[in-house]
Chains A and B, each alone.
Chain A
Amino acid sequence: MGFLTLEGLTRLYGDVAAVSDVSLSVAKGEFVSLLGPSGCGKTTTLQMIAGLVEPTSGRITLDGRDITHEKPDRRGLGIVFQSYALFPHMTVAQNVSFGLEMRRVARAEREARVRQALALVQLAALADRYPRQLSGGQRQRVAVARALVIDPPVLLLDEPLSNLDAKLREEMQFELRGIQQRVGTTTIMVTHDQGEALSMSDRVVVMEQGHIVQVDAPYRLYESPATSFISAFVGKMNRLSGVWRPGGVEIGGRLLPCNGAGLSEGAAAVLAIRPEKIGLKAPGAGVLDGRVKGRFFLGSAWFFTVETPAGLIGVSLPNAGEEPAREGDAVGLDWSSTSAKAAKPEGAQGA
């Protein structure tokens, strides 16, 4: 039995289902991300948990208590909004203190807890500033402190990092996760950024068009995406169409090694392989030859696009400190059969 459970949660807007039949069970202390493109229903799901949107049908329980129709001010959940939604006319300390005042916590205890919460997010020195005097990252910390100070059973994060610049976003990822682990609050985060979801969560829930399509640990989600939509959304994926033969997919008369369970010989198949699972070798030494079309230096890695008889293939190599193949070089692509998977093609969906 989960700490927070959603059962068949559905929200209709007119005839359109923003969220349909979402069921999920979150354990106490777990960090779960709702991941998906915009309009997939992840934010609506979060708002239903928060009590800001009334579900059309379904049930939400928190620690065994049915909270489906409870008012937001009775749920006691901590929420960090995308815009942070700080009270602009109150100082940082007053913002953080607001939730405690509503709970009629005595002044002395209130002040102690506000100090503690601000120390947790390293903002103790800015307690008397107004939100407009803070940077984006600092505002976000205030929002986190304000949500955590009330000791919520569940912390909800709505795209918490989307308003920060790239560098700060990366730092806050680790910091938010660190805070969450220290405090131990059950956390649900909504994000459209797969990197965030993968690096911060215990489990990732991928949503598409109002439905949950996969729930898995970040590692398993990345390695075994359930659908081509997920494989394309989470990380990069090369997809090569051909025909299944024992031991691999045949494309243009060449057998490319891969795993393929439940495929019959001669059936159309799509080989899927991640760019970082491919190695570059001398021409003829790999499973497929090609020519480097583009080369991009990403700092920690090199990314190549390689023109091959099977199509354009992306290859990612860790930066080993030397300059690898250049544009126009003939190369051989190599991978082991365990790192590539073949599956039946699904509809007309591109990758």
Chain B
Amino acid sequence: MSGARVSTTPWLLAAPGALLFAALVLVPLALTVVLSFHAYDVARGVQDEFTLAHYAAILSDSYFLNIFWRTLRLAALTTLICAVIGAPEAYVLSRMREPWRSIFLLAIIGPLLVSVVVRTFGWSMLLGPTGLVNDTFRGLGIGTVKILYTETAIVIALVHVMLPFMVIPVWTSLQKLDPMVEAAAWTLGASRFTALRRVVLPQVTMGLLSGSLVVFGLSASAFAIPALLGGRRLKMAATLVYDEYMHELNWPLGAAIAMLVLVINLVIMLAYQRVVEARAKRTLG
């Protein structure tokens, strides 16, 4: 009797969350999958007819493949830059004293408190041909540089938003570190840099890897930033889906693109997750 109760309790407790997840994520996803197999006619709209034509069209058209490739490339680049900036930033943060630590932590999380649209318009004002950045370049005699509506602009803005997702997990794993371990490395003859590389870094890899996972996932599916800073011609996966739905009105094609992006993202992230877990098992037990 009590055994049965013990085994049902976890299910009952998990049920509300599971139902919510099923209703809000799984059902729309399933509908999208179904939609992606429907035929589409420009004159008559969505047809009740099964077809693989959309998937075939996407996979054979270099226009779409280029956009997928750009999406993955920019997401990977953003992740890399976030790691290179975020890890040292987290380390500096962990060595700060109060109240500075709280102040800087707030400054890092700050971007998340501002609406992504507002923040992105802010970047487009800064990076535009008459913006502050180009004013400075002209002042320095470099001349006007086209930044807005380039991949550079997208990456700059993505890094800005994604940085907290990298800093916080790395910072958390730094918190767990015995500060004396680094001192031990110094006393054994390691320079500051060597101690960081050989002793501190390996212990925060877990934070770095999980941060990378979040940043990559969010960057690859980002919408507002590529839409506003990439302009009409420079599309990423999410903006492409939007265009198919809202401009071309070809919902089945949009759904097929969305599904492909989801699958690609899933494959990359699951593979990455396996690497992370294997590593964690090896070093942390």
- Contacts from A to B (Cβ < 8 Å): 50-52, 71-73, 75-79, 81-83, 85-89, 98-99, 102-103, 130, 132-133, 146, 150
Contacts and interface: CB of A to CB of B under 8 A. Distances in A.
B117 to A, nearest CB: 43
B214 interface: no
A98 B185 contact: yes
19 contacts: A72-B183, A72-B187, A73-B186, A73-B189, A75-B187, A76-B189, A79-B184, A79-B187, A85-B181, A87-B181, A87-B199, A89-B202, A89-B203, A98-B185, A99-B188, A102-B190, A103-B189, A132-B285, A150-B188
A72 B178 contact: no
A81 B183 contact: yes
A52 B188 CA distance: 12
A130 B185 contact: no
B187 A50 contact: yes
A89 B283 contact: yes
Contacts of B184: 79, 81, 85-87, 146
A173 to B, nearest CB: 22
B181 A86 contact: yes
A146 B199 CA distance: 15
Contacts of B186: 51-52, 71-73
- Please give me the 10 A-B residue pairs with the lowest Cβ-Cβ distance, nearest first: A102-B189, A99-B188, A85-B184, A85-B180, A72-B186, A89-B283, A89-B202, A85-B181, A79-B187, A81-B180
A100 B148 CA distance: 53
Contacts of A98: 185, 188, 190, 198
Contacts of B189: 73, 76, 99, 102-103, 150
Nearest to A158: B180
Interface string B263-285: 00000000000000000000111
B194 interface: yes
B150 interface: no
Contacts of A88: 181, 203, 283-284
Given A72-B183, A98-B185, A132-B284, 18 more contacts: A50-B187, A51-B186, A52-B183, A73-B189, A73-B190, A73-B191, A76-B189, A78-B187, A81-B180, A82-B180, A85-B180, A86-B184, A87-B185, A88-B203, A89-B202, A98-B198, A130-B285, A150-B189
Interface string B188-227: 1111001000110011000000000000000000000000
B97 to A, nearest CB: 13
A257 to B, nearest CB: 52
B181 A73 contact: no
A168 to B, nearest CB: 21
Interface in B145-184: 178, 180-181, 183-184
A73 B185 CA distance: 8
A75 B189 CA distance: 8
Contact of A51 (B187, B199, B203, B283): B187
Nearest to B201: A89
B95 to A, nearest CB: 14
A98 B202 CA distance: 14
A103 B188 CA distance: 9
A51 B183 CA distance: 10
Contacts of A77: 187
A132 B187 CA distance: 22
Contacts of A99: 188-189
Interface centre among A50, A77, A89, A103 (most CB of B within 10 A): A89
A72 B188 CA distance: 8
Contacts of B188: 73, 98-99, 102, 146, 150
Given A50-B187, A72-B187, A85 B178 contact: yes
A77 B181 CA distance: 15
A314 B185 CA distance: 48
A194 to B, nearest CB: 25
Nearest to A146: B188
Nearest to A77: B187
A205 to B, nearest CB: 21
A102 B183 contact: no
Contacts of A50: 183, 187
Nearest to A133: B285
